[in-house]
Amino acid sequence: MSSVNIKWSRWFPLVPALALLTGILLVPLGKTLVDSVSTPAWTLKNYSNLFTDGVTMTVLGRTALTAATVTAIALLLGYPYAYLMTRVGPRARGILLVIVLIPFWTSVMARNFAWVIILQDGGPVQSLFELLGADHVVLYGTTAGVTIAMTQVMLPFMVLPLFSTLGSIDRRLLLAARGLGSSPTAAFWKVFWPLSRGGVMAGVVLVFTLSLGFYVTPALLGSPQESLVAQLLAQRTTLLLDFPAAGALGIVVLIVTLVLVAWANRVGGTVSAIGVVATSRPKDRP
Amino acid sequence: MTSPTKIGQVKTVQVDTGPALSRRRYTKVDPIPWWLKVLGGLVVAFFVLPTLVVIPMSFSDATTFQFPPKGFSWRLYENFFTNPVWLDALGNSFLVATLTAVLATVVGTAAAVALSRLQGRTAQFVRTLLMVPIVAPAIVVAVAVYISFLRWQLTGTVTGYVLAHTAIAVPYMIVSVTGALGGFDPQLLKASASLGASPLRSFVRVTMPLISRGILTGAIFAFIVSFDEVVIALFLRSPTFQTMPVQMYNSVTVEIDPTISAASSLMVAAVTIIFILPQLRRGRRGRRQESHADDT
């Protein structure tokens, strides 16, 4: 066997994976792109329409706002949680990690159905608000309800990058700061927070990006009047059958996502975190 | 842990079980504040409790989604296991998920093993490319796949479902197997080759046994990814062929059929058994191994 043959034979096992990726993903996406600029004629009309149709921009704005809210809440809840994970003993840490992964691995439909029950008119959340004195709070069918449910699913993507960053910070630096006369709050903001910024960036971009593409949660818990971009995309595809217009919107969403992901990868370096979140285990040493 | 990683390069979240200072000594100097524990507890509740409401709901006697559930009965489970619509959906999901797991295992393992031995820009690019299915929004993939599958007449077919689900399951498989290959010593293959084994035989007799746990984990992930996939499935469904998540979706949006709470409870129980229990067990085993390693 010549050396060239050996070189190529090493690539050979990749062929099925690449063929599948190309056939099922790249060709359909490429076709969508070509259709969006070539139908009905070779113009960018399908794209310029997105700006002028009066609907798309509103929906995109609402989607970005929802994603930003989800990200902010996830950071507020996820940071202390990840911090707590770095402080407790190995057994408690293992349990906290499994708990983080629960929303990720419980069935998407079961989880969304659970939120329908909880948020519905007459449901437990409404009863809770009534006990607190606020009558008839309806979260079902609102963007607020969608935001709450999305935050639950997105929290793992915030917690895990944060956990891996926070865990690597040497806590003796905090003790040093305290020893030099710093208050606990000042020690946190001047020493700990700057060191954790990489993880924060990674988590924030990851959660924001993934939140842009949610379909099932807004479709089940939101309202058609306040739809998010994924619903708009689905509607244009299956109801209006306007494939080129839907394609243009889809390509825009895809490009925004991939650019954000690539950027997050350079900043925080945890993009494959999605895969890692999915396959991470409390203990993974051979 | 904080060093930058390229897309697709696999990094395992490692749980450092040995902090710099012994914990007991540490907590005296630097105690965990009470409010942090309270907040942690609330987040735990936010993670766990919402999903659990499906369980009491599944024993409800009501014909609506009312909560708290009314009465107690097994009626919803009975309906789930006798109604052909639900049974067909369950069977279809099992079929698609099993085929997906098999296909993804073969394709993904081959790719992961090949990638682990390749270096350079092209390999890096391929690695990144293969991760695209998990970062691309499901809805965009679903729309693109739907439009193409309509033309190729693959909508509503087992083949269509399996191909689409395998495409999104392969990255998980690659991540899992690559993780297992992390501790693999390539010298073993040289040894095996020097003893006269062909590359295939080396793979089957040397590599595979060593990474079998990664392969098994990946296969389980692939199965769950497919079994639970709803967005693409909603687009590919046909009146004659739909999967469990799609039937569950219908029962919330169209039919208002409380049988979904039985279905949801079963799904939650199944995933807990398949996924979370082995994790807990592996956690215990890992700790044992580590304490053993410390002794030597």
Residue A226 within a domain: yes
pLDDT score of A284 more than 80 = no
Residue B266 within a domain: yes
Band (B281; pLDDT cuts 50, 70, 90): low
- CATH, residue A138: 1.10.3720.10
Q: Which residue of A lies nearest to B105 if distances are taken between CA atoms? A: A17
Residue A13 within a domain: no
Q: What's the pLDDT at B230?
A: 93
| Other Cβ atoms closer than 10 A to A72 | 15
**pLDDT tens digits, one per residue of A48-57:** 888 888 888 9
Residue A219 within a domain: yes
Closest to B67 (Cβ–Cβ): which among A124, A171, A243?
A124
Task: Report the distance separating Cα B234 and Cα B249, nearest Å.
Answer: 9
Q: Which residue of A lies nearest to B33 if distances are taken between CA atoms? A: A84
Task: Report the distance separating Cα B132 and Cα A265, nearest Å.
Answer: 13
- Phi and psi (nearest 5°) for B241? -140, 110
Band (B282; pLDDT cuts 50, 70, 90): low
Amino acid identity, position A118? I
Q: What's the pLDDT at B9?
A: 44
Residue B123 within a domain: yes
Q: What's the pLDDT at B106?
A: 95
- Phi and psi (nearest 5°) for B71? 65, -170
Q: Which of B266, B267, B286 is nearest to B278 (CA)?
A: B286
| Other Cβ atoms closer than 10 A to A133 | 6
Band (B294; pLDDT cuts 50, 70, 90): very low
Q: Which residue of A lies nearest to B220 if distances are taken between CA atoms? A: A279
CB contact under 8 A, B167 and A25: yes
Q: What's the pLDDT at B169?
A: 93
Q: What's the pLDDT at A6?
A: 61
Q: For an interface test with A, give the residue of B5, B15, B48 to mutate (most A CBs within 10 A).
A: B15
B202-209's contacts with Cβ under 8 Å and 24+ in sequence apart are B203/B113, B207/B113
Q: Which of A209, A189, A201, A196 is nearest to A82 (CA)?
A: A196
Band (B22; pLDDT cuts 50, 70, 90): low
The C-alpha of B203 sits at a distance from chain A's nearest C-alpha, in angstroms, of 12
Amino acid identity, position A172? R
Instruction: Work out the average pLDDT over B263-290.
Output: 68
Residue B272 within a domain: yes
Q: For an interface test with A, give the residue of B143, B165, B189, B272 to mutate (most A CBs within 10 A).
A: B143
Please tell me whether the peptide bond between B239 and the residue prior to it is cis, using omega within 30 degrees of 0: no
pLDDT score of B283 more than 70 = no
CB contact under 8 A, A112 and B252: yes
Q: For an interface test with B, give the residue of A272, A277, A280, A285 to mutate (most B CBs within 10 A).
A: A272
Lowest mean pLDDT among A136-140, A180-184, B24-28: B24-28
CB contact under 8 A, A106 and B51: yes
Helix extents (H) in chain B: 23-29, 34-52, 54-58, 75-82, 84-116, 121-135, 138-152, 158-181, 187-194, 199-202, 208-228, 231-236, 244-253, 259-271, 277-295
**pLDDT tens digits, one per residue of A229-275:** 999 999 888 888 888 888 999 999 999 988 888 887 776 554 455 54
CB contact under 8 A, B286 and A282: yes
CB contact under 8 A, B140 and A253: yes
Residue A5 within a domain: no
Residue B94 within a domain: yes
What is the count of structural domains for chain A?
1
Closest to B264 (Cβ–Cβ): which among A23, A110, A261?
A110
Task: Report the distance separating Cα B142 and Cα B230, nearest Å.
Answer: 10
Q: How many CB pairs under 8 A join A and B?
A: 362
| Tokens matching residue B201 | 């035989």
Residue A197 within a domain: yes
Q: Which residue of A lies nearest to B171 if distances are taken between CA atoms? A: A275
Instruction: Work out the average pLDDT over A11-20.
Output: 89
CB contact at 8 A, A252 and A47: yes
CB contact at 8 A, B170 and A17: yes
Domain that holds residue A136: 47-279
The C-alpha of A109 sits at a distance from chain B's nearest C-alpha, in angstroms, of 6
**pLDDT tens digits, one per residue of A114-132:** 999 888 887 788 888 888 8
CB contact under 8 A, A80 and B118: no
CB contact under 8 A, B118 and A10: yes
Q: Which of A258, A283, A196 is nearest to B1 (CA)?
A: A196
Find the Cα–Cα–Cα–Cα dihedral A152, A158, A164, A170, rounded to 10°: -110
Domain that holds residue B213: 86-278
For residue B238, the cross-strand partners are B241
- CATH, residue B112: 1.10.3720.10
What is the count of structural domains for chain B?
1
What does each C-alpha distance from A167 to A43, A243, A271, B14, B20 come to in angstroms? 52, 47, 18, 10, 11
Residue B254 within a domain: yes
Q: Which of A150, A154, A20, A156 is nearest to B173 (CA)?
A: A20
Residue A64 within a domain: yes
Q: How far apart are the first and last CA of chain B?
A: 26
Q: What's the pLDDT at B16?
A: 47
pLDDT score of B271 more than 80 = no
CB contact at 8 A, A154 and A211: yes
Q: What's the pLDDT at A178?
A: 85
Q: Which residue of B lies nearest to A93 if distances are taken between CA atoms? A: B15
Residue A72 within a domain: yes
Instruction: Work out the average pLDDT over A154-182.
Output: 87
Residue B124 within a domain: yes
pLDDT score of B50 more than 80 = yes
Q: What's the pLDDT at B166?
A: 96
Chain B residues within an 8 Å CB radius of A79:
none
The C-alpha of B197 sits at a distance from chain A's nearest C-alpha, in angstroms, of 16
Q: Which residue of B lies nearest to A237 if distances are taken between CA atoms? A: B143
Q: For an interface test with B, give the residue of A9, A22, A70, A109 to mutate (most B CBs within 10 A).
A: A109
Closest to A99 (Cβ–Cβ): which among B17, B47, B224?
B47
Residue B51 within a domain: no
User: What percentage of chain A carries pLDDT values higher than 90?
Assistant: 31
Q: Which residue has the higher pLDDT, B282 or A133?
A: A133
